[in-house]
């Protein structure tokens, strides 16, 4: 059983479209991270959100942490082919342990 549920699992969109990826849990985390992973490589950190209700922006990417620190969303505006990849959320628990969601595989077609 995954502690963190991500949706959707797969997303295929045209360049220029907007999209939102969700990461939900019944557990409270001290922080939540979003990673992007490309084929054949390890995940790379995009952002860490710590405070309930926090919103962070990274160019065309907007990340939000739920008020109760149980869920998060990633919104991409005007997606580009370079955004293609696997997006993973990870919740930080005790002893600096991290629990990953199952991932959202995004494909942005030119």
Partner 1 sequence: NAGVTQTPKFRVLKTGQSMTLLCAQDMNHEYMYWYRQDPGMGLRLIHYSVGEGTTAKGEVPDGYNVSRLKKQNFLLGLESAAPSQTSVYFCASTTAGEQFFGPGTRLTVL
Residues that bind partner 1 (CB under 8 A): 2, 4, 6, 9, 31, 33, 40-45, 48, 88, 90, 92, 95-103
Nearest distance, CB of residue 24 and partner 1, angstroms: 14
Read off φ and ψ for residue 81, nearest 5 degrees. Answer: -55, -30
Residues in CB range of 24: below 8 A, 6 or more apart: 4, 5, 6, 7, 70, 71
Residue closer to partner 1 (CB basis): 80 or 87? 87
| Residue 18 near residue 78 (C-beta atoms within 8 A) | yes
Nearest distance, CB of residue 80 and partner 1, angstroms: 24
Q: Which tokens sit at 54?
A: 């926090």
CA distance 42 to 49: 21
Residue closer to partner 1 (CB basis): 90 or 108? 90
Residue closer to partner 1 (CB basis): 66 or 103? 103
């Amino acid at each position: 059983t995954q502690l963190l549920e991500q949706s959707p699992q797969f997303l295929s969109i045209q360049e220029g479209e907007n999209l939102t990826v969700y990461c939900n849990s019944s557990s409270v985390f001290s922080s939540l991270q979003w990673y992007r992973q490309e084929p054949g490589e390890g995940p790379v950190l995009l952002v860490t959100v710590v405070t309930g209700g926090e919103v962070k922006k990274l160019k065309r990417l907007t990340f939000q942490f739920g008020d109760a620190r149980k869920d998060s969303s990633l919104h991409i505006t005007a997606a580009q082919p370079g955004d293609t990849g696997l997006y993973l959320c990870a919740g930080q628990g005790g002893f600096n342990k991290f629990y990953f969601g199952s991932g959202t595989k995004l494909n942005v077609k030119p």
